[in-house]
Amino acid sequence: MLSPTAQEVYEITDPSTIPALKIHGDGEWESYPDPYVATVWFDTDQGRFGVDVSRTALDAPWVGERIIFPGEGSILQ
């Protein structure tokens, strides 16, 4: 569910280094004036994580662009 650009960026990531997270509640969508991008925030047992997402058309599926770790902000803001 990653964009082609994100696939390239994260392809060298070792999955065993990614912590297991327990998500609390539903994700919170942060919309922007551009209807083709958004950020989804998740409260977890290890802090607040987010995912910058995009789509190519209003009826196209959302794909992940960037994972946001606790303490970081969206690049879309």
Please give the C-alpha separations between residue 67 and each of 6, 42, 58, 59, in angstroms, as whole numbers: 9, 11, 22, 23
Look at residue 74 and tell me if it is in a domain: no
Q: Is residue 77 part of a domain?
A: no
Range of the domain at 25: 4-12+21-68
Residue 73 resides in a domain: no
pLDDT of residue 18: 86
The 10s digit of each residue's pLDDT in 6-61 is 999 999 999 899 889 999 999 999 999 999 999 999 999 999 999 999 999 999 99
How confident is the model at residue 7, as a pLDDT?
A: 96
Work out whether strand 47-54 and strand 63-68 pair parallel, antiparallel, or are unpaired: antiparallel
Q: How confident is the model at residue 77 (pLDDT cuts 50, 70, 90)?
A: confident
Half-sphere exposure (CA, 13 Å, Cβ side) for 54?
13
| 76 within domain boundaries | no
Total domains in the fold of the chain:
1
Q: Does 75 reside within a domain?
A: no
In a domain, 56, yes or no: yes
pLDDT of the residue at 39: 98
How many Cα neighbours within 13 Å face the side chain of 6? 14
In a domain, 34, yes or no: yes
* Any domain includes 31: yes
